Amino acid sequence: WYQHSSSSSREAGDEWTFSNVVERCMCSMQNGTQMTKLKGKKNGLVRFFYLDDHKSCIRWRPSKKHDKAKITIDSIHEVCEGKKSEIFRRYADNRFDPNCCFSIYYGERVKSLDLVSTNAEEARTWITGLKYLMAGISDEDSLLTWLQQTFSEADKNGDGTLSIGEVHQLLHKLNVNLAKQKVRQMFQEADTDEIQGSLGFEEFCSFYKMISTRRDLYLIMISYSNQKEVLDLQDLARFLENEQKMRGLSREHLVDIVAKFEPCPENLQRMVIGIDGFTNYMRSPAGDIFNPEHNQVNQDMTQPLCNYFIATSHNTYLTGDQLLSQSRVEMYAYVLQAGCRCVEVDCWDGPDGEPIIHHGYTLTSKILFKDVIETINKYAFTKSQYPVILSIENHCSVPQQKKMAEYLKEVLQDKLDLSSVNAHECKKLPSPEILKGKILVKGKKLPANLDPEVEEGDVSDEDSGDEGEDEDDDQNSQVNKTLNHRYLDRQFYLLMLLERSVTLVRYIVSLRRRKTMRLSRALSDLVKYTKSVRVHDIETQAFANSWQVSSLDETVMNQILQLQPRELVRFNQRQLIRVYPSNYRVDSSNFNPQAYWNAGCHMVAMNYQTEGRMLELNQAKFSSNGNCGYILKPKCMCKDAINPMMEDPLPGHGKTQLVLKIISGQQLPKPKDSVFGDRGEIIDPFVEVEIIGLPVDCSKQQTRVVNDNGFNPMWEETLVFNIRMPQISLVRFQVWDHDHIGQDFIGQRTVAFTSMMPGYRHVYLEGMAESSIFVHVAIHDIPEKVTKSHPLIPPLSPARVRRTLLAPAIPRPSTPMRTKTRSRSCPRKQTTSPQSPMVNCKPAFHWQTQGAQNYGSYSNQVRPILNGLCLSDSTSSSSDSSTDSLEFVPSCLPAGAEQCEGTLQREMKVLFDQKMREIRCKSPSSFSTVQQDF
């Protein structure tokens, strides 16, 4: 970056250092620069761009988006100098100096902000400054950054402080429902400087610390410290072993935890961890529900390709629907960086002999084939080194096919060279490990018996990896008849005429007319292990040669799943298969991929340009192996003839029981795009947990509703699931607002079952870095003989250490009553659609501990502590004690305690507040003690 400083500046003297360059860049960017923002083919828009005070985002004005007109620094992927983006290439003239041009690629969908400065010096300043900021942002700064942004946005009058009124507005925005008297008390405690009646930033941090101290974590901590306010190394080891199921803990590892997360100097000196440090640790990746080891490749990558699920994109080039959306070369960069390993390239004859990519006869824009290949070459291995598959749908003439082959070899070079792959293993597909750094071309191939000297030949118009395959009339297989009937069906044409466009109908008719095509030898020779073939017979095909790929649309695949599920699993053990969305999905919607994963289908093609539930499932699936784009199938799918549609797909195997205790929530926002935004009512959240896997395993359960609390709601409920095949199951956590106006969905996080960590864990909602729910995870294997002879019941904690969250005084209503009551908290519309599996909705399962059956005797053994958590008098510090989970026990609360706060609860809150004041007095006053727990 030093090179971006001007030569005159560098010659000024040795005192000019890199820090001077950065400081100058930051100052210039914060002062702001007038630049031209390019958009489409119109003249650019002149806007004033500047870096905000906290150096966390770029803003510009004027804008119709007002305060939302910004790009956060941590969303920036790349800053490119010169005229390299697609939008710059649209400007054929040379009106812009390349030295004044640069592009910022940002966001999940990799959008580009293309800017032209008035001089080259300004452009270099922004490029240097942005690259520095991109390198300097760390996870440890996230809370500080959020607090700075929150403080700035809450400061309505811009005086650098927050009044009591601004604090009340902020708390409402944060979904904090506290009595005004309580807020004023904490406000006054935090207001310690000479200027009374307002909070500066440091005072605001202290105020935030007061409202964010976690009761649930505090009570877990003191249960392992024998009522002390800190955990020593022995206490910490016992917690990690008993609850988090960690083994082989060394003293050095425990010391590292304290040193990294404990902010109090006194505690560091004593080598103990207090509530601040314990909260920091539990809120770190070490306390996340996702196994941190799964952020890297952790599966065997040496098996044949047909033993893996492969992340696959459909209509990769499109930014939206199939009729009117744009084709953008940046979409290839986006999907490859998202972990996709199979991209689709629809090739057509273009002007001037240059092949182009677009979507059939629709109105989508066109991009150059060469630009796409260059983009793929640049981004193919930025996130994963495992092979990329180019699924080519070839509609080009032979001359332009030769041009395609020329570009592929010229740009990709040794990435296409497969000579190092052992030819003696031709009966099996090579492994992802052997094919590291390679790109496979999937497409048609000339017949083997054709004269090798011939430069081109005829091939039947077989399946090429996308919709619109033609099938010969003389094929009599179930699959081919189904496809053939689809194109002959007059109702299909009528539907297209009425609801879509004439251009789409012309496209389909043209596909029907084509029988054979001419194929270039140069392009055919690039196809090695992924030859496109038609499915003839799923029972016998692929025994002779596994170097082939078949593609079928979801309609046909659904029929096969119903008629021949076991045979489909067998077929997928021998050769690759690709499933793509139906032609009816002109809106680029996605199907449910789980149904096809259940049968072992390798490449389940998703519209990565369409966000939503189905793409979230795909993301969760492939996150469990470092997001490398390959997931190893379970052994039974690679060898056994399982039937995924049966209630007992694996006879002789037991079940796995998942016991989830939904404890609390942290900093849950209002529903996105709610009608009244931040001014709306405080949310009434509840949690829904869904198992997505084999049909027999699919189910949903949910918690009760907590009224008027999105900041720190407490549910304290247990959900139990019994799962036949957890190896392919996903667990989806969703948070909803019961008292909604408009959209009531708040957020979700989906995790592969195999990636879930046991013990006390935080489930962070996707795209909401600080919003989470706090849960306890317990997983138990239930042998088949136990399943048959005994009903499944949740496990019980060892009797030596008991804890509970106070439950209602009277026994809970029976299941039918609970179901009826809770139905009011369900999303308003729950219909079965092709996008979601059939589920068996069950109410939350509440259970009791041993010893809780005798209410009177139990009340003598348990003494309540803060917030209703109870410790038995037998609490021990011995290493074999355990608090395996928070458990429900009856208590003698008055009727209606579930809705209103009783005297006992108020007394415990007073005790808790007193304890918190004592803790704050002993904690350091510096910002480093601020909790990361909203």
Residues with active-site annotation: 314, 358
Contact 173, 681 (CB under 8 A): no
Is the separation of the CB atoms in 105 and 80 below 8 Å?
A: yes
d(CA 580, CA 603): 8
Rounded Cα–Cα distance for residues 333 and 376 (Å): 7
How far apart are the C-alpha atoms of 367 and 361, rounded to whole Å? 14
Q: Single out the residue of 201, 150, 130, 28 nearest to residue 927, CA to CA.
A: 201
Name which of 779, 737, 719, 774 is nearest 755 in CA terms. Answer: 779
Which tokens belong to 449? Answer: 């018996």
Question: Counting every residue, how long is the chain?
Answer: 934
What are the CA-CA distances from residue 162 to residues 192, 203, 933 (Å)? 13, 10, 21
Q: Report d(CA 79, CA 85) in Å as an integer.
A: 11
Bridge partners, residue 780, by sequence: 657
Name the one residue in this structure whose structure tokens are 């770190």. Answer: 284
Please state, in angstroms and as integers, the Cα–Cα distance from residue 723 to each residue in 601, 627, 895, following that order. 21, 25, 36
Alpha-carbon distance of 227 to 801, in angstroms, equals 13
**In sequence order, which residues have a C-beta less than 8 Å from that of residue 359 and are 6 or more positions away?**
315, 317, 318, 322, 327, 346
Answer yes or no: are the C-beta atoms of 608 and 590 closer than 8 Å.
Answer: no
Determine the distance from the C-alpha atom of residue 922 to the mean position of all C-alpha atoms in its chain, rounded to a whole number. 39
| DSSP assignments along 841-877, one per residue | E-PPP--B-TT-SSHHHHHHHEEE-GGG-EEETT---
Structure-block tokens of residue 889? 């026990």
Phi, psi of 363 (to 5 degrees): -90, 15
Strands 33-37 and 111-116: antiparallel
Name the helix (H) or strand (E) containing 191: none
Under a CB-based contact definition with an 8 Å cutoff, are residues 101 and 18 in contact?
A: no
Residue 707, φ and ψ in degrees, nearest 5: -80, 140
Distance, CA of 884 to CA of 273 (rounded, Å): 21
First to last CA, the chain: 37
